Amino acid sequence: MKKAPALAALLLLLLAAAAPLTFAQQAGSKIGVINSQVVLEKSAEGKRVIARLQEKDKSNQAAVDKLDQEINALQTRLNTGRLTLTEEQLYNMNADLNKKQTDRKRIAEDASRDFQDLQIKLFNKVQSELIPIIDQLGKEKTIEVIFDLAKSGAVYFNPAIDVTEEVIKRYDASKAATPPAK
């Protein structure tokens, strides 16, 4: 019976001695952060991706704007000619107006879906190209974990652990070394 309290005391003593050792190991761990949004905005490839998306959005908007102009012109003709047009002409113009409005809605939805698909495709491509660079940087700097500030919800970090600029440099260098794919 007297051995149980002595054994418990010895166990507590061992745990107390091991706690600082565990804390020291954790204190030596390095954490890195990257801001993927900044990489996208500042890297050469990220700028190309953003420009391509803006171009796609601009062309989509032009197609929708063209239909808007046609719809407005048809509505104006319909409103100004109500008293002078025949019943059949009014019916045909209304049918044409409804068709154009339906086409506009369909084109806008298709354009939005196409834009989102392209955005996902391009962002995933950039991300897949960044992962090996981030992995290599983490190994070189013996970083245990790297968080993405754009997605992690971090509220504070020491700027000394931010590896974003280094990732941008390496990403740009890797893209400069390879010929552009068509």
State what percent of residues in the chain have pLDDT above 70: 80
Per-residue pLDDT, 30? 84
CA distances from 36 to 6, 42, 152, 167 (A): 56, 10, 11, 10
* Element of type H or E holding 33: strand 31-34
Residue 12 forms part of a structural domain: no
**Residue 95 located in a structural domain:** yes
Q: What residues make up the domain containing 89?
A: 28-177
Angle formed by the axes of helices 164-177 and 44-80, to 10°?
90
Q: How many domains does the chain have?
A: 1
Q: pLDDT (tens digit, 9 = 90+) per residue, 24-47?
A: 345 577 888 899 999 999 999 999
CB crowding 44-61: b at 16 or more within 10 Å, else e? ebbeebeeeeeebeeebe
pLDDT of res. 23:
38
Q: Report if residue 10 sits inside a domain.
A: no
Q: DSSP labels for 84-152?
A: TS-HHHHHHHHHHHHHHHHHHHHHHHHHHHHHHHHHHHHHHHHHHHHHHHHHHHHHHTT-SEEEEHHHH
The confidence score (pLDDT) of residue 25 equals 43
Classify residue 40: in a domain, yes or no: yes
For residue 13, is it within any domain? no
pLDDT at 158: 73
Residue 4 lies in a domain: no
For helices 164-177 and 87-140, what crossing angle results, to 10°? 100
The pLDDT value recorded for residue 28 is 72
* Residue 181, pLDDT above cutoff 90: no
Q: At what angle do helices 44-80 and 87-140 cross, to 10 degrees?
A: 170
Q: Is residue 58 part of a domain?
A: yes
Residue 167 lies in a domain: yes
Per-residue pLDDT band at 116 (split at 50, 70, 90): very high
Q: What is the mean pLDDT of the chain?
A: 83
- 119 CB-near residues (< 8 Å, 6+ apart): 53
Question: Per-residue confidence at 150, pLDDT binned at 50, 70, 90?
Answer: confident
